[in-house]
Amino acid sequence: MIKYKNEIAKETVENKGNIEGRMVKDIILTPAEMLDKAMMFNVINLPVGSRIKEHSHQPDAEIYYILEGEVEVTDNDRTELLHAGDVVFTGNGDRHSVYNRGDKEARFLACILK
């Protein structure tokens, strides 16, 4: 399968569920396109001041790979400032949150594995 940039859907989520502020998702591949091997493969655009509130992953797992900007990530009880090239993995019932406290929009690749 080949998918072109103009075929990638965008979805905006604002102050809903575990989103505080706004988040724009580039839906790179849908679960069906991944043969249901993963639940999500998106690029997340997180404006300054927006956050993904704390949530856990059980039995699934989530990977964040930072592409641009900086985000404050809490992984269980550890909070770190991550930059482009940094990665976080959360699974086995662990919990995480992400907050863009920087001065420009942050972008990261997010993948939820089954």
Q: How many domains does the chain have?
A: 1
Let me know if residue 52 belongs to a domain. Answer: yes
Is position 1 within any domain? Answer: no
Is residue 99 in a domain?
yes
Domain contains 79: yes
Residue 81 forms part of a structural domain: yes
What CATH number is given to the structural domain containing 86? 2.60.120.10
In a domain, 18, yes or no: yes
pLDDT tens digits, residue range 10-67? 999 999 999 999 999 999 999 999 999 999 999 999 999 999 999 999 999 999 999 9
The pLDDT score that the predictor gives to residue 27 is: 98
80-93 pLDDT, tens digit per residue, is 999 999 999 999 99
What tens digit of pLDDT does each residue of 73-83 get? 999 999 999 99
In order, the DSSP letters of the chain are ----GGG-EEEEEES-TTEESEEEEEEEE-TTTTTTSEEEEEEEEE-TT-EEEEEE-SS-EEEEEEEESEEEEEETTEEEEEETT-EEEE-TT-EEEEE--SSS-EEEEEEEE-
Range(s) of the domain holding residue 65:
9-113
